[in-house]
Structures are given as structure tokens and as C-alpha cells.
Amino acid sequence: MSVKTLNNYINGTLCEPASKQYLNNIEPATGQVYSRLANSDAKDIDHAVDAAETAFPAWSTLPAEQRSRWLQRLADAIADNHESLAQAESKDTGKPIQLARNVDIQRAVDNLRFFAHAATQFSSESHATDSRTINYTLRQALGPVACISPWNLPLYLLTWKIAPALAAGNTVVAKPSEITPYTAYLLAQLCVDIDFPPGVLNIVHGTGKQAGAALTSHPKIKAISFTGGTQTGTAIQQAVLGQHKKISLELGGKNPFIVFAACDFEQAVTTACRSAFSNQGQICLCGSRIYVEHKIYEEFVAAMLAKMAQLKIGDPQDPTVDFGALVSAQHLAKVQSYLELAKSEGGTLLTSHKTLNLSDRCQHGYYLKPTLITGLDSRCRSNQEEIFGPVATVQSFSSQSEVLKLANDSPYGLAASIWTQNINQAHQLATDIEAGIVWVNCWLTRDLRTPFGGMKASGMGREGGFEAMRFFTEMKNVCIQYK
């Protein structure tokens, strides 16, 4: 099998890294190297930032309608290559092909189309102070900005950042995760195919420590939009302290999924299973702490195990598979270490799959059965730390005030899902819960106009809709007095 080479995309051209060094890229389903990516360093970042800086004046002054058309063209190119991109995403991440088709690639198209529209709808305020004084707010593009994205939803989250950045008139240097660079590379190829204006979008591959750190601390980078782990987000914040850059951080989560006895039981169980194990539990919004009212606790755990038993685990390329491989050997080892930790903390591990029954192709892949853990208290490390794998804990509660306390007893504050037929209870909890996103009787229902992000250790700032457009612009108040 030939090994593909994934080069950088700088100034409209696919190019080798300055060092000519490459890193291996592994297919998680098989454990085999199938491509190699540019191992970029500060020289490549300088090259990309220079290209972005040169492209900025023309791009930022292009009428919004024309920027919008470029984003639509990019969206069309992704839509036209939907299947090959879905295959690539599935291969690179280990996620089931159906998920890559229906969620990842579809959402990448939607992100670009949404912000193509936002470019033409974005407006700013004016304030009439008195009959002879008016203030208006100018919102101007910043310049070259950095977009850094993680491995769990590679093209989906990359486009979620670059689309508003470009729509608002900035030029971009993006660094995708070194673990899942494939669809970002294919996006670069599409940019070449459609003659996307050179330097407006640049994609540099490589490690976070080398390429990522050089990018975020680059003096010409005006803003950093980062999605990834809380530790990395903190490290970036510290590294650029004093540089006065705008920073948006979308970080980890340990999200409560709260089920009251008065709920649509079947729907709650089905969604709890989806919420805990979609993408092998590798979504920042996964409900990994499940709280169930004691009256239905036993019944709920049994029903959830029955649902888990229906998940077909296997080769991500198989369109009937629901549950694929974890992203890397290192990540698999990390998640497994949490299973050991949970046992040592007194937890009971419940799984519905005795064996994995994998095909030959997948025998060296990074698979792990979905697991529920019972018997842990809320203060233990298994309940406090983000595991980011197919592992959820279940605890029972007896009152609304108790479950609120449990839910908020976490360093994280990204999302929560509440299941109840009691409308007062829903509103009360939605108000009191410490999370940036609250779903009631649903999970992962998204409207791209709404603010997206977390509080506490889950991040700083919000993405989505005009919040993202505002982040990627500098505000200037102009006060005019006339006679």
C-alpha cells in the first residue's frame, strides 16, 4: 500500500515543510501507518503568517458578498466530494463511516454555508446620544488569525473556526491535529482546485508543541481560536500572556446527563446511550456523568445495558457499524488507565459486549468496549476528570437540590442534558446549572446561531452565530457631533 504524503498549504500552494521532515499518520481501525504529514516548524509558520499578512488587505476589503461567494464555493467543493471526504475522515479517526457521512462532512458544508450567509448579515450598532451626536460601532477584521482544532471532529471543527474568521474578513493560518490531518489536507486540495485566493487560508501540519506553539506565539497573529484539552488551552494562554491577543478557548467537558423519574423513559435511555458513546465517547459534549432518580435507577441501568448491547462494534468502514476505534494507541491506553482507576476507586464496570468480534483487518486496531461504571461517588477522580472515551458513570439521586449539587461539583462547565416532564424543574435547573449549554429532553440538538461554549475549566468565550463574527473583529466606536 502506498503511503500518502500530506503537505502544507501555504499561499495557495501545497508545499513541503522547510525541514523536509514528516510524521507517520496511523489508521486507528488497523493500527497501520497509511500516510505521513509535514512536521512543520517555526519557519513554515513564518511562511504561512507572511502569506496571510500579504493577503489580508485585499481579502478584508473585498465586499462581504464576494467573501460570502468564496465560502459558498468551498462549501460546494466539499459537498461535491462528500463521500471521499467521509471515507477519509472515517479512516483517519476510526469513526463509523455513517457518522462521518451524516455528521462530520455534512456539518463542514453547513458551517461554511452558514457563515457565508453571516458575512452578508453581520451588522453593528449605532447610538444616537442626542439630536446632534451619533455613535456608531465599526467592527473591523483583525488580520492574520490562528485556528487550532482537535482530532475528534477534524473537518467539522476546523470549518467551524475558519468559516467565521474568513467571513469576517480575516486571513487564517490553521493547524489541525497531528493525529487527524487527512481531511484538512483534502480541504487544501479543494482550495487549490477552486483557485481559492492565495494566502487567505493557510493550513500548516505538525505537532502542537512545535508548529502549534510557534503559531500561537507569532507576533503577527492577532487572535487565537483554539479547541482542545483544558491543559493545552491553559498552556496557550500562559504562552501568549502579555501579547494582547484575542483568545477563544473551547476546552474539555465532563457533562452531567440528568434523568428524573417523570421523563420519557425510552427516549431518555436511547439518548443517554447516544450521548455517552457517540464517536466512541470522544465528543466534548458527551454525557459522561449520568444521574438517575433513585426510583428508576435499577430499571434505567438495565435498559441502558440492553441498548449498549445493540451497538455494533467493528470496522468503521462497515456502514452497519455504530461504534469504531479510538483515535490512537496512546489515547486507548489513557482511557484504559481510567478503567483501572475506577476499579481502584471502588467502581463496578458493566459492559454488555463479552467480546469484540473484529475482522482480521482490524485485529491491531484501537478498540474498547463501551462501559458503564456504577458505585462511585462524585468526588473521585473518575468522576472529576475528563476521560474522553466510551466510559460513563451512573449515580442515583433523590431530589432536585441533590442532583444540582452533584452536577455542579465539577471543574468543568460545558454542557448538561436534563430529562424531565416537569417544566418548572427544567427551567429551575437550566438557570442554576453551571454549563454553557443546557439541553432539556434532548442532546446535541444544534442551531448554528446559538452561542456555543463552556464556563469554568471548559473554556472562555463563545463560538457560533454572530458571537463568532464578533470574536473575529475588533470594535471601534466612532462618535460624531455635527451642527
- Residues marked active site are found at 250, 284
User: DSSP string of 235-275?
Assistant: HHHHHTTTS--EEEEE----EEEEE-SSS-HHHHHHHHHHH
Applying CB under 6 A, among 14, 15, 190, 235 the residue interacting with ligand NDP is: 235
Q: Where are the beta strands (DSSP E) in 123-231?
A: 126-130, 133-141, 144-148, 171-175, 201-203, 223-227
Applying CB under 6 A, among 44, 386, 434, 467 the residue interacting with ligand NDP is: 386
Judged by beta carbon, residue 240 or residue 308, the one nearer ligand NDP is 240
What's CA 169's distance to the chain center, in Å? 23
Applying CB under 6 A, among 256, 459, 461, 465 the residue interacting with ligand NDP is: 459
Applying CB under 6 A, among 209, 294, 343, 427 the residue interacting with ligand NDP is: 209
Which range touches ligand NDP (CB under 6 A), out of 5-13, 108-116, 118-126, 175-183? Answer: 175-183
Question: Burial letters for 213-227: b for 16+ Cβ neighbours within 10 Å, e otherwise?
Answer: bbbbbbeebbbbbbb
The sign of the CA dihedral 400, 406, 409, 415 is negative
Q: Least distance (Å) from ligand NDP to the CB of residue 137?
A: 28
In degrees, to the nearest 5, what angle opens at C-alpha 256 toward C-alphas 251 and 258? 155
- Binding of ligand NDP by 451 (CB under 6 A): no
202: number of Cβ within 10 Å: 29
Phi/psi for 99 (5° steps) reads: -65, -45
Judged by beta carbon, residue 300 or residue 472, the one nearer ligand NDP is 472
Which range touches ligand NDP (CB under 6 A), out of 102-110, 192-200, 205-213, 438-446? Answer: 205-213
- Binding of ligand NDP by 443 (CB under 6 A): no
Judged by beta carbon, residue 87 or residue 152, the one nearer ligand NDP is 152
Judged by beta carbon, residue 4 or residue 209, the one nearer ligand NDP is 209
Judged by beta carbon, residue 96 or residue 413, the one nearer ligand NDP is 413
Which range touches ligand NDP (CB under 6 A), out of 146-154, 255-263, 308-316, 442-450? Answer: 146-154
- Binding of ligand NDP by 179 (CB under 6 A): yes
Among candidate residues 151, 182, 158, 152, the one with its CA nearest the CA of residue 35: 182
Applying CB under 6 A, among 96, 228, 256, 281 the residue interacting with ligand NDP is: 228
Applying CB under 6 A, among 90, 159, 216, 248 the residue interacting with ligand NDP is: 216
Q: Least distance (Å) from ligand NDP to the CB of residue 108?
A: 14
Q: Binding residues for ligand NDP, how many (CB under 6 A)?
A: 32
Q: Supply the Cα-derived Rg of the chain in whole angstroms.
A: 23
Amino acid symbol at 478? V
Q: Least distance (Å) from ligand NDP to the CB of residue 34?
A: 17
- Binding of ligand NDP by 384 (CB under 6 A): no
What residues contact 238, with CB distance under 8 A and at least 6 apart?
none
DSSP 452: B
What residues contact 439, with CB distance under 8 A and at least 6 apart?
415, 416, 417, 418, 445
In degrees, to the nearest 5, what angle opens at C-alpha 14 toward C-alphas 12 and 16? 135
Binding residues for ligand NDP, rule: CB under 6 A, are 148-152, 175, 177-179, 207-209, 212-213, 216, 227-229, 232, 235-236, 250-253, 284, 386, 388, 414, 454, 458-459
